Structure 1
Amino acid sequence: MELRQLEYFVAVAEEAGFTRAAERLHVAQPGVSAQIRQLERELGEPLFDRSGRVVRLTAVGEAVLPYARAALAAVSGMRMVADEFSGLLRGRVVMGAVSTPSVLDLPGMLAGFHERHPAVEISLVESDPGRLLDGVVTGRIDLALLGLGAPLPPGLEVRVVVDQELVAAVHPGHELAGAGPIEVTELKGLPLISLPPGTGLRTALEEMCARAGFAPHVAFEASEPYVLGQLAARGLGVAVLPESAVAAPASELRVLTFSGSGLRGRMGLVWRGGGELSPAARAFVEHARRHLPDLGPDC
């Protein structure tokens, strides 16, 4: 039995699929399948039910998964102790992010950490806020950059790094194009363009409309904030987006503020608290906090 087999087993269990596990491990999918089959032969029992569209753990797989995780954690702990004695920071850190606004120099932050700690492997993954939060909670992701809206799960710490006013953007021929600051109620019944559910911007929009007594009619969704403005410039509806994401020229788009709404979009760094991070991950979090702006208060 090899540690690589245990690592592959845990990855397939957490990703619920061989292909996603291979992508996470940066290896070929047939190699993952071969190692899992070898592990199953050594144990004499199938670890996964492969009969459905989603790979699921068998009863044996559920029973041995905690032991596989414990074995990997023990080996990681041994390496960290040895590295602390040698004074060399090693390991692997994983950062998750939704689309990154131009006001944050995320590539520069990653490059700076690599320069200071070249022996630490850095991985960057992009996903939706729900999967990122789940990754932080379960330990698959050390630090995530995502929109803030709904309350975070317990045990997580957060630092606000983006805090922007949200605005409405419309085509020059839209009925609201000539207005000054608009009331939230003027969005009622209109086709809106927003980020997907679960994002901080979408949560802020839904809460703002709920306070005004109606549910927003979101006709178009896009995962990139700047795409929202592009859709609005085509006359497809009212885009609600951060002010910095308005990339279209004034001839294609009219930008409107909200009257007295206090509608803002926030993004934050999120990580596990309580000393649960590895030395490499702790150093990475501290580096990110130094490099990226602090628009607190932390929440």
Structure 2
Amino acid sequence: MELRQFEVVVAIADEGGFTAAARRLHVVQSAVSSTVRALERELGTPLFDRTTHRVRLTAAGEAFIPAARAALRAAEHARGTVDAVRGRLRGQLTVGVMQGVWAGLHHALAALRAEHPGVTIRLRQAAVSDIRQALRDGSVDVAVVALDRQQQRGLVTRTLLSEDMVLVAAPGREFAGAEVTFAEAGELPFVDFAPGWAIRDAVDRAFRAAIVERSSTFEVNDIGAAGDLVRHDLGVCIMPESIAARFPDLRTWRFARHAPNWKVMVVRPRGEVSPTVAALLQHIR
């Protein structure tokens, strides 16, 4: 077996098909197909179930993928170690991010690219639960995300910022006091982020702890869409204060007690750090 075969199989699993994998690897689809057929002959079993509409991993394929990722990571680490001795890095770095959350990451990426132009950076934007799984299976090397205590298990984390969340409302909406309570907020229509978003998880936990129910009138997966809905007074939204600051025309209200907390951190799997990941971590503050 060859590393190229591992790379092809992993690309198909990640992209969901042979054509998409060929685009990612910059080869023709026939080359991808022939590589998989050769590997399957060598292993004596199919790795993919192929139909007209989709490609799925077989049980053997599911078992093969983690080992293939580990082999590719080991090869990349060996290559990176030699490159580091020579004073230059190359290869691919996959960084996971949550939508709307940067925490200054673009500054770190720019600094890494300036120092090591041979490194290709691939950003993967997804819900926090998906990024956490990707860190575990090796398809993401490092991530900037918000995780609760339980989600941090088995990962190495470093906190970048911690802040309370605020209630964001249309300019004309008023409350009885200078701060809002969960009981007051629970009576209003809500613009919520989709399940699986870290913001949504934190807000759900806060309302459960306050023993208050609320109604999700809208569920969105875009920060800008949430702002537009609130701007037209179709609902209120709870978000981190740093994100709420992107909407200066909207009003923000602090919670009287036990505001949902937002903790963004840089996260990586346990174990030895590759030279490329180490280089990026030096720039993330």
Q: Same fold by TM-score, threshold 0.5 exceeded?
A: yes
SS of the residue corresponding to residue 181 of structure 1 reads coil
The amino acid that maps onto 1:109 is A
Alignment map for 1:1-299 (pairs within 5 Å): 2-14=2-14, 16-18=16-18, 21=21, 25=24, 27=26, 30=29, 32-40=32-40, 45-51=45-51, 55-62=55-62, 64-65=64-65, 68-69=68-69, 71-73=71-73, 75-83=75-83, 85-101=85-101, 104-149=103-148, 151-174=150-173, 176=174, 179-246=177-244, 247-250=246-249, 253-275=250-272, 277-288=273-284, 292=285
TM-score between the two structures when normalised by the length of structure 1: 0.79
- Aligned equivalents of 2:70, 2:162: Cα separation in 1: 40
- Aligned equivalents of 2:265, 2:66: Cα separation in 1: 31
1:240-270: CA deviations, max 9, x gaps?
Answer: 12223334454xx332221122333222111
The amino acid that maps onto 2:184 is E
Q: 1:217 to 1:18 in 2, by over 3 A?
A: farther
Q: Does the 8 Å CA contact 1:132/1:144 hold for their aligned counterparts?
A: yes
- Aligned equivalents of 1:149, 1:45: Cα separation in 2: 41
The amino acid that maps onto 1:159 is R
- Aligned equivalents of 1:256, 1:10: Cα separation in 2: 47
CA RMSD of aligned residues (A): 3.1
CA shift for structure 1 position 15: 5.2
CA shift for structure 1 position 208: 1.4
- Aligned equivalents of 2:179, 2:63: Cα separation in 1: 59
Structure 2: runs of 5+ lacking an equivalent = none
CA shift for structure 1 position 229: 2.5
- Aligned equivalents of 1:177, 1:26: Cα separation in 2: 56
The amino acid that maps onto 1:280 is T
CA shift for structure 1 position 74: 5.2
The amino acid that maps onto 2:89 is L
CA shift for structure 1 position 179: 4.5
Q: Does the 8 Å CA contact 1:192/1:238 hold for their aligned counterparts?
A: yes
Q: Does the 8 Å CA contact 1:171/1:254 hold for their aligned counterparts?
A: yes
Identity of aligned residues (%): 34
Q: Does the 8 Å CA contact 1:148/1:199 hold for their aligned counterparts?
A: no
- Aligned equivalents of 1:184, 1:109: Cα separation in 2: 37
The amino acid that maps onto 2:160 is V
- Aligned equivalents of 1:158, 1:105: Cα separation in 2: 17
Q: Please, which moves more after superposition, 106-115 or 162-171? A: 162-171
CA shift for structure 1 position 133: 0.9
Q: 1:255 to 1:34 in 2, by over 3 A?
A: same
Q: 1:70 to 1:179 in 2, by over 3 A?
A: closer
- Aligned equivalents of 1:72, 1:114: Cα separation in 2: 22
Counterpart position of 1:297: none
The amino acid that maps onto 1:215 is E
Structure 1: runs of 5+ lacking an equivalent = 293-299
SS of the residue corresponding to residue 152 of structure 1 reads helix
- Aligned equivalents of 1:201, 1:73: Cα separation in 2: 31
Q: 1:237 to 1:49 in 2, by over 3 A?
A: same
- Aligned equivalents of 2:70, 2:203: Cα separation in 1: 43
Q: 1:59 to 1:99 in 2, by over 3 A?
A: closer
SS of the residue corresponding to residue 136 of structure 1 reads helix
- Aligned equivalents of 2:258, 2:40: Cα separation in 1: 58
- Aligned equivalents of 2:266, 2:164: Cα separation in 1: 19
SS of the residue corresponding to residue 150 of structure 2 reads coil
SS of the residue corresponding to residue 267 of structure 1 reads strand
Q: 1:73 to 1:187 in 2, by over 3 A?
A: closer
Q: Does the 8 Å CA contact 2:162/2:263 hold for their aligned counterparts?
A: yes
Q: Please, which moves more after superposition, 64-73 or 152-161? A: 64-73
